[in-house]
Amino acid sequence: MEKGELFDICTYIAASAEKLKDEPKDYGPLRLLEVLSQLATLGATEYDDNFLREVVQQVKEKQGLVMADRKAFYDFLTQLVIQFVKEAKKR
């Protein structure tokens, strides 16, 4: 990870935290997914981590659900956490 990439992610987190006070409540999980995607992309690249690579792909495919099908979006988040728990047991 380059220094600039880490700085960019930190900037995004700070700006997101500040902006959430004025945004709809569903934006919080969406913004966290964006941070997850950025960090998972770095992990997949730096450590050739296939699990994180798959997570990035899933997030890209499903993050738009928050606007189209709220229930499906939150179901996806639940399944994503389950995937992380299962993967954590393997590591």
Which residue, chain included where needed, has tokens 């006070």?
21
The CA distances from residue 23 to 16, 17, 31, in Å, are 10, 10, 11
Q: Six-digit token pair at 58? A: 């899933």
pLDDT of residue 7: 87
1: confidence class by pLDDT, cuts 50, 70, 90: low
Pick the closest to residue 56 from 82, 26, 33, 87 (CA basis). Answer: 33
* Cβ pair 43, 35 in contact under 8 A: no
pLDDT tens per residue across span 5-45: 888 888 999 999 898 888 888 999 999 999 999 999 999 99
Is the confidence at residue 3, as pLDDT, over 80? no
